[in-house]
Structure 1
Amino acid sequence: MASQPQRFRVLRQRAASFGHAFRGVRLALTSEVHLRFHALATAGVVALGFYFRLERWEWALVALAVGAVWSAELLNTAVEAIVDLVSPQYHQLAGRAKDVAAGAVLVVALAALAVGLLIFGPRLWELRTHF
């Protein structure tokens, strides 16, 4: 069984890990234009979700879609930083790695768009008839 001081050390290490993760998100938000766009889109989707009073299962799909896009964008940012570190000059393979990582973001963003259209599309279509 772990001693009391060791338990506190483990808790502090776990808390520090969360701090590093939050710092990573903050750094990406301040340096990546695309991530700021995703932040605005997330705020808009959440606002629409409250406006349309989404069902729990719809919120789950929206949350998964938003989380997937954010995760892909953060991983893309990490790949770009690593590639820039190890290959400061242009190299065909470095460009390929960056393009593939950006392609992953595109695929996830298109899937999230499909989720958004399926959930919000009919509601928005119906709303247009009221104006």
Structure 2
Amino acid sequence: MNDNSTCEIYCYDEEKVNRIQGALQKENLSRVAQLFKVLADENRAKIAFALCQDDELCVCDIANIIGSTVATASHHLRTLHKQGIVKYRKEGKLAFYSLDTPHIKPLIVMALGVEANV
């Protein structure tokens, strides 16, 4: 099989490689990878999208939106909370969730690739 998608000889631009490696060392890309890993779950992506649509939702609302039980929604919300993506507040017996970082909304919009109403 003829694969033209790789270099046929080994040759690299040392200046570019050193510059980009230096930039990589200054960034915390493990945090970025973890963020995408958490959002890679479809239900957690739905929750993030839902919270882009409305500033704050209770766990019961979220469960209904994603079509799950309250226990399943709570599990996903705990995961999102541990990663610093959502925050919550209690009001009596209800727990209300909202996005904890302004960076999620633009990510969701970009990932959808459309002018989303978020």
TM-score normalised per structure 2? 0.26
| Relative contact order higher in (CA < 8 Å, ≥ 6 apart) | 1
Greater fraction helix: 1
